[in-house]
Every structure is written in C-alpha cells, then in structure tokens.
Amino acid sequence: MSSFFGTLFISYLCKAKKRTKMLNNKKIAVDFDGTIVDDAYPAIGKAKIFAFETLKRLQAEGYRLILWTYRHGKTLDEAVEFCRENGIEFYAVNSSFEGEVFDSETQSRKLDADWFIDDRNLGGFPGWGEIYNIIQERIEFRVEGKEVLAYSKLKKEKKKGLFW
C-alpha cells in the first residue's frame, strides 16, 4: 500500500471522526478470513487494504470489536495474534463478551452484536472504506427485486396527500 493512499485514507477517517459522536456501547462482530485478510484458510492471507486502519479508527471511536470466525484452536490463536501484531485487541473472540461460557442447552450461538461485517454478507464485501462510511452514516439496506439498495441512496417518493 502506498503511503500516499494510506495518508489520504487516514485523513478521510479523521475528518469523518469530527462528524461522529462516541458510540462506546456498540458492538461490531467481524469475520477474519475474506474480511480482515484475504481468504487463505487455514493459512493467514494478506491483510485487506485499510482493514486495520478502519478497525483501529472504530476502536478509537469507542466501538467494541468482536472477532467472529469459523477458526478455532491453533488457527484461531494465530488469527488473534496476527490482529494483535497489527494493533487490534478484540473485546471478545467468538463470543458475545470476554469470558462468556457457551452452553448450547441454554443459549443461542448467535452473538450479541449490533453489526456484523463478513465477506459473505448479502451483496458481498464492499471494502473497508465503504464499511466505515456505512457505519458512520448509519446507512441501512433493503432488497428490491434482485437488488440490494441502500436506504440513504434511494429516491424519496413525493407525498401525495396531506398526511402521506
């Protein structure tokens, strides 16, 4: 990654931070393979462009990051260490909070998170710059026909009556 583009992206993130307020109670579950790094499972792929810069910015803004991955055992430990070496310490790993003990008899395996970032999202992985924008602008999506559309980018229909 060239230093010019890295500097440009960090500048964009700093300007965006001024538009946001601290959201220290929001949890974001992030996949590893194909999302933070290129998919090379069980090896660790190359870091995706702007992945760690974006994750660091989100943490600085108070978001709690959860590593949510298929990995377990040694491959999970390697992924956690790779992220730590790149400046990311997770709030939790494959759990809703640190120290959670999963009991399949009394709990759902679904994590308690506000947002999930995964390369297998409907519509695919848009890239870390777009992910940051989606979170900051609180862009929501809907499916219309066979297309996934962002609510914020949809044409607003004119109201026809006094109340609708």
pLDDT tens for each residue of 102-117: 776 777 777 888 889 9
Label residue 100 by pLDDT band (50, 70, 90). Answer: confident
pLDDT of residue 164: 52
* DSSP letter assigned to residue 13: H
Instruction: Report the pLDDT averaged over residues 26-42.
Output: 95
Q: Which residue has the tokens 């870091």?
A: 47
Query: pLDDT tens for residues 40-62?
Result: 999 999 999 999 999 999 999 99
Q: What is the pTM of this model?
A: 0.71
- Domain segments of the chain as ranges: 18-153
Instruction: Indicate the average pLDDT of the chain.
Output: 80
pLDDT digits (tens, 9 = 90+) for 82-92: 999 999 999 99
CATH code of the domain occupying 18-153:
3.40.50.1000
Under 8 Å between Cβ of 20 and 56? no
Cα separation, 11 vs 20, in Å, equals 15
C-beta of residue 42 within 8 angstroms of C-beta of residue 78? no
DSSP 43: S
Residue 139 has pLDDT above 60, yes or no: yes
The C-alpha R_g of the chain, in whole angstroms, comes to 18
pLDDT at 17 over 60: no
